[in-house]
Amino acid sequence: MSTALMTCQPAHERHGSAWSYVSPSRLGCWLRCPLAFKFRYIDGIRSPTTPSLFVGKMCHSGLEAFYRHRQLGIALDAEDVAKRMIDGWDETVTEEGMRFETESDEMKAKLKVVDLVAAYLAHVPEDEPRPLAVEATMEAPLIDPFTGEDLGISLLGIVDLVLDEQQGPVIADFKTTARGGTPAEITHEIQLSSYAYLFRQLDGRKEAGLEIRSLIKAKTPRIEFHHYDARSDTHFKRLFGVIREYLDALDSGRFNFRPGWGCSMCDHRDTHCRRWCG
């Protein structure tokens, strides 16, 4: 895979961080609630890192260490990976401004991370192919594949893993989740289509498929791999339809609230959102 990142010159005047690039997480946030997106990406109001997010971040760091070594032909075992995660724990706590309520909560989180990653390593086949890319920042200009129009902004995503499988490249994303079961494909569609677009732009090949690899935070951690087909023209038409609407919202500065199920988990519910009046 090319390591050079493709960037673009904005076609028209945009300024500020929200206009610097489009990403699957920004699109996902805006789709869930435009007002919550505004608080986060326009007003720069950061939500505190929760223990659950922190566990996910640490699991990602362990899997990144494991696969970066695999790229070099070095096999780390679960103990090696656990040591690396624990060694980097305090630094990440500081970087993220993470606050555990008690020492016991922090210890439980450490054990959870170690157990989840050990379960993952026990699950992957020993002959899993070497990765083509690990925790790779991919950036490419957004050019509508159907009209050739350059949207004047780039798409940026951080792809957890690309494996050189026999049938072709497979793009995988790690998720730490409370429950198992096959996730509805549509809930991950924007992310999967974005990663496929980036991979094709940078590598020149079509992906053979995509995977969500779930690390399930059950009492006894479980691992599930969910496979999805290569993206179709329909997926890319839908993705670009969403991106165009998103860019229109940025340009018009209209970010309405979208009350719904997500409000129960929103940090702005009783503060900024309550004061907002359109």
Contact positions toward ligand SF4, by CB under 6 A? 33, 35-36, 257-259, 262-263, 266, 268-269, 273
Of 129, 143, 118, 141, the C-alpha closest to 62 is 118
Closer residue to ligand SF4 in complex, CB, 12/275: 275
Closer residue to ligand SF4 in complex, CB, 16/262: 262
Q: CA–CA separation, 82 vs 62, rounded Å?
A: 7
19-44: b or e for each residue (b if 16 or more CB lie within 10 Å)?
A: bebbbbebbbbbebbbbbbbbbbeee
DSSP string, 86-134: HHTHHHHHHHHT---SSHHHHHHHHHHHHHHHHHHHHHS-TTPPPEEEE
For residue 274, the minimal CB distance to ligand SF4 (Å) is 8
Cα separation values, 130 from 5, 69, 73, 74, Å: 22, 10, 8, 10
Show Cβ contacts of residue 94 under 8 Å, excluding neighbours closer than 6 positions. Answer: none
For residue 176, the minimal CB distance to ligand SF4 (Å) is 22
Closer residue to ligand SF4 in complex, CB, 40/175: 40
For residue 269, the minimal CB distance to ligand SF4 (Å) is 4
Q: CA–CA separation, 157 vs 194, rounded Å?
A: 8
CA 170, 92, 16 angle in degrees (round to 5)? Answer: 75
For residue 139, the minimal CB distance to ligand SF4 (Å) is 28
Closer residue to ligand SF4 in complex, CB, 129/262: 262
For residue 178, the minimal CB distance to ligand SF4 (Å) is 20
| Structure tokens that stand for 65 in this block | 């260490």
For residue 210, the minimal CB distance to ligand SF4 (Å) is 28
Closer residue to ligand SF4 in complex, CB, 29/59: 29
Closer residue to ligand SF4 in complex, CB, 50/182: 50
Closer residue to ligand SF4 in complex, CB, 6/263: 263
For residue 248, the minimal CB distance to ligand SF4 (Å) is 19
